[in-house]
Chain A
Amino acid sequence: MTTTPTTPTTGTGARHLLLDPGMDLTLRPMRYPHFFDRFRDAIKNTWTVEEVDLHSDLADLARLSPAERHLVSRLVAFFATGDTIVANNLVLNLYQHVNSPEGRLYLSRQLFEEAVHVQFYLNLLDTYVPDEKERFEAFAAIENIPSIRRKAEFCFRWIDSVFELRELRTRQDRRAFLLNLICFAACIEGLFFYGAFAYVYFLRSRGLLNGLASGTNWVFRDESMHMAFAFDVVDTVRAEEPDLFDAELQQQVRDMLAEAVECEVQFAADLLEQGVSGMSLADMREYLQHVADRRLVTLGIAPLYGSRNPFGFMELQDVQELSNFFERRVSAYQVGVTGSVSFDDDF
């Protein structure tokens, strides 16, 4: 182990940091091969919306209780716009400042994935909400539904916080950028989406909405990688410029997560307002606090809450899946398999 940060250099030997302004085009020598690996792994996870079979969901929707239906309609309304917001930030802010061609390869891939997620939720809403007027309302959730509006405003504020920055010249610029990156990874993908996934998995553990759950599984798998990439960028910057990470930044991250938890709790209060057996608001709050703590610990920052995961069903998404193809389409395959025919490989 060494504590000396690496100082990557370009092919010509000049010192060059990840957040230094510019449009680096040099892939060889590769400065951040781990970004490239993530790009390759992401390609293996390619899936398409057409593979998700939603038809059994319609029967389930018909037998949901009014309280559960309220939960589902709010949830899909959030999904309808959530990924678009993330994609916007990626284009407007992240792509510009992560100055590494291999890092930008990953971001390009992520952008594609966000687009697939948007398409998936679009398809989902078109399927779930046959009434056109209701459907339009769902897509306008940001205007109509206060609990969703509050989350969106939180996101927009952080998009705007760095929007004016064309280049990260100063220490202050870079810290602002890091906060934006951490916000999208830890708070939006890492908490808002994680909260939303908990509802989906809750329903799934009750045998409801398999189609939503299988698509969400794939979305979730992608989002996990997005988050991991963002944290990888944070770690890389931290290694290159350790002085950016002072107590003030840590406090800002903690405040940001606390606010994100509050945003998500008020969303939960709306979703669960009619009472859903097996998912109390108190448990949901504890779950969100627990997730926020995990994000902080990952970033090397002291946790805020000390809360535990109250949801036994979340264990289900941590273990290998085994589907019976008679029952469900199997989702555990990868694309982009390599190699050529040979007869003496080990197996």
Chain B
Amino acid sequence: MTVVQERPTSGPDGPEQRRQAMRVRKRNGDAEPVDVNKIVRAVERWVADLDEVDPLRVATRTVSGLYDGTTIAELDKLSIQTAAELIGEEPQYSKLAARLLAASVDREVRGQGVASFSQAIRYGHGLGLVGDDTAAFVDRHARRLDDAVDPAGDLRFEYFGLRTVADRYLLRHPDSRLVVETPQYWLLRVACGLSETPDEAVDLYRLMSSLAYLPSSPTLFNSGTRHTQMSSCFLVDSPRDELDSIYERYHQVARLSKFSGGIGISWSRVRGRGALIRGTNGRSNGIVPFLKTLDAGVAAVNQGGRRKGAACVYLEPWHPDVEEFLELRDNTGEDARRTHNLNLANWLPDEFMRRVEADGDWSLVDPSDAPELPDLYGEEFDAAYRVAEKKAVRTVRARDLYGRMMRTLAQTGNGWMTFKDAANRLSNQTGAPGNTIHLSNLCTEILEVNSDTETAVCNLGSINLGAHVTTDGVDWEKLRATVRTAVVFLDRVIDINYYPAAQAAASNPRWRPVGLGLMGLQDAFFTLRLPFDSAGARELSTRVQEEILLTALETSAGLAERFGPHPAYAETRAAAGHLHPDLWGAEPTQRERWTALRATIAAHGLRNSLLVAIAPTATIASIAGCYECIEPQVSNLFKRETMSGEFLQVNTYLVRELRARGLWTPQIRDRIKRAEGSVQGITELPADVRELFRTAWELPQRALIDLATARAPYVDQSQSLNLFMSAPTIGKLSSMYLYAWKSGLKTTYYLRSRPATRIQQATVAVTPTTGVDPVVADAEALACSLENPESCEACQ
């Protein structure tokens, strides 16, 4: 491709003239004329395997953005940006931009006198960034570790991934803010922070560097540093119904948030508005003012400048303030009763859903009148609730409340539907009476018991399934090996983790739960050409999940054999011989391995009470360059908005397909852009190809729920299941969530929807509206509104 953009020269100071006068300031301060060929040569170094990239195009476009007197550093930055802006036309520019960026990061690190991994660690330790243990470990094994660095490692990154790494994950000099490690040094540092031997470190490093597995962000941020808080999720029980407990929770949440944790916190135990406060003989203002304070607290804590704090509040639907709770994210109403930073989730007992279905009444009960309700589930809850109803503060129609929940989901995406009874009934941790799961976490994939004195903790990591699949199918042996490595290191985190709150330190060593997830499911489906809603896709995803849980349990049993079972093992369902698929009544396919596993567990127990949770992987999927967790693609062409900026993302599988058919043309690109990333209108593509490349908005959501249900017996915690609806209505949503509940899912996550109208597109061709066509359409609309007053939207 040798398309060079031609520009009209307009006027006396047109671009051509200006370009000739353009000078660039070198690092030593001297000015020299801009030389396009120099930029071309700099780009050419990186394009050996990128045959669609045109270095001259990057160079000329870069020069056109310059001003007279630009510095060399700005020129470098601009060439990276310029390459990145061409990704929508040709995805290979993503690799080019990533490599230019890697080169620039490399220069920055070398410029501080760092020439090897061990030097970077020593430098970082001297600056107070790297922890003593890791510094000593690296010092002992410097040569072995220095040799392990893969010089080709950075070539695997896509631009968005590497930009994210460079902006937020690499350690920076406290004063100069320069990065003090390269991306490969970073991954090796993370590995060293988790390892006992150099072999272990090199193994884990190679796995991460191949992007086949990544631990979650807190581990990637903090491993090997002076603050080794590496857990992603904290599940805080509701404050007790008293002021001291509420303020203790604020403090706990702030501490957990400061060290990168995402918070789930229940509020079901705190009395509602109007309830009597005996101490002062006053009436309570309810939970909203307290949540407003929590909201401000979460916003104030910034996770080391890397991302904002985040929390989700869970409430059971019998709480008297539930309706106000559902309005916390509305953008109208009194701002003192709105929480713009908190996420909201409903923690729903089956009894509520049954009454919705039967169109029954629903009683709102004050927790001060029924303090036992949050600790009960299943039939015990049902019985206690029916007794508590006699003291109801108010009675509403269950469907009305359910309808309000649907409205909140449609208007804010928040108010996630999570199901208390399924979560408890189908958990390994609820084997003994008194152990109850009170809520899920910030992303609805973690389900762990907690209490007033124990805050549940979970360390996460995700397998990139795309990296374990070729057109021939899944590489099962590779997948097993990845799971084994992942589980060992997730388990390791539990012991070396820094716990920012005593309640977290009390819980984690007892239960030792971990959450191994996966990402890139959509990549696997594209590679194997399986439409998301096909039977083949469902089968593959289920078998993959069985393999992951089975291997994870085998590994955990192996760890138990060496180190003993986790201390609370006797309280688990596994101790009684009931493994997670048994709770679902599922029929696994790998019978012999399951049988052998049962024998091992009977002999040694398990090192971890929970092993699998499918997290949203928003950031690490970007780093790995794959689609997020178990999600379908949202669009064939879209942008990601992050703190680092905006990034164009294009479906490379589709581009390959179109190119093979000679269809990757500016016209087709324009049509895809105009259709907001849909290819359903590209009739030049055969129907089966269009079917494969449907977006989340174009898939039946029933299929997403069915896939999730099919894999659920092999997910012992839960899944961050987003659902998508372009134009949600209360009717569609209420049908969908009832189906999700009936399917037995423990949790759902965001409802994604789209704005009613969009910004006018600036870069697709315009067509004149000559006044002819609209008249026809208007005439039809007029006729319709007159003749069919019921069915026409305009009349309702």
Contact = CB atoms under 8 A, between A and B. Distances in A.
Interface of A: 1-3, 5-6, 29-34, 36-37, 40-42, 44-48, 50-51, 53, 55-56, 194, 201, 204-208, 210, 217, 220-221, 224-225, 227-228, 231-232, 234-236, 238-239, 242, 272, 275-283, 285-286, 289, 291, 294, 297-300, 305-310, 312-347
Contact of A34 (B413, B733, B738, B778): B778
B519 to A, nearest CB: 13
Contacts of B639: 316, 319-322
A342 B731 contact: yes
B528 interface: no
A224 B758 contact: yes
A31 B794 CA distance: 11
B246 to A, nearest CB: 25
Contacts of A238: 770-771
B736 A347 contact: yes
B763 A314 contact: yes
A339 B732 contact: yes
B67 interface: yes
Contacts of A289: 10
Contacts of B335: 50
Q: Which 10 residue pairs across A and B have the least CB separation, nearest first?
A: A312-B85, A44-B756, A275-B67, A207-B645, A339-B729, A339-B730, A224-B760, A324-B618, A238-B771, A337-B410
Given A335-B411, A343-B357, A299 B641 contact: no
Contacts of B69: 275
A51 to B, nearest CB: 5
A37 B756 CA distance: 11
Nearest to A331: B755
Interface of B, helix, strand, loop or mixed by DSSP:
mixed
A347 to B, nearest CB: 4
A79 to B, nearest CB: 17
19 contacts: A1-B773, A1-B776, A46-B332, A275-B69, A277-B65, A286-B7, A308-B5, A315-B85, A317-B759, A319-B676, A322-B638, A322-B641, A324-B618, A333-B755, A335-B331, A335-B332, A337-B407, A340-B403, A343-B738
B654 to A, nearest CB: 14
Interface of B: 5, 7-8, 10, 13-15, 18, 61, 64-70, 74-75, 77-78, 81-82, 84-86, 88, 167, 262, 299, 307-308, 310, 331-332, 335, 338, 340, 343, 356-357, 399, 402-403, 406-407, 410-413, 616, 618-619, 634-635, 637-648, 673, 676-677, 700-702, 725, 728-736, 738-739, 750, 752-764, 766-779, 781-782, 785-786, 792-794
A277 B618 CA distance: 31
A283 B763 contact: no
Contacts of A201: 646
Contacts of B736: 345, 347
Contacts of A32: 778
Given A235-B775, A334-B756, A343-B735, 10 more contacts: A30-B794, A44-B757, A45-B757, A224-B760, A280-B65, A309-B763, A321-B640, A330-B413, A333-B755, A341-B730
Contact of B638 (A234, A276, A321): A321
A34 B781 CA distance: 8
A287 to B, nearest CB: 9
Nearest to B760: A224
Given A56-B643, A326-B310, A33 B794 contact: yes
Nearest to B167: A207
A205 B81 contact: yes
Contacts of B773: 1
Nearest to A290: B762
Given A324-B619, A344-B735, A280 B64 contact: yes
B774 A232 contact: yes
Contacts of A208: 645
Nearest to B356: A341
Given A320-B635, A345-B731, A298 B642 contact: no
Contacts of A291: 762
Nearest to B408: A337
Nearest to B641: A323
A319 B635 contact: yes
A298 to B, nearest CB: 5
Given A277-B77, A278-B65, A315-B88, A207 B637 contact: no
Given A56-B643, A339-B732, A320 B778 contact: no
Given A275-B70, A277-B70, A3 B772 contact: yes
Contacts of A6: 775, 778-779, 782
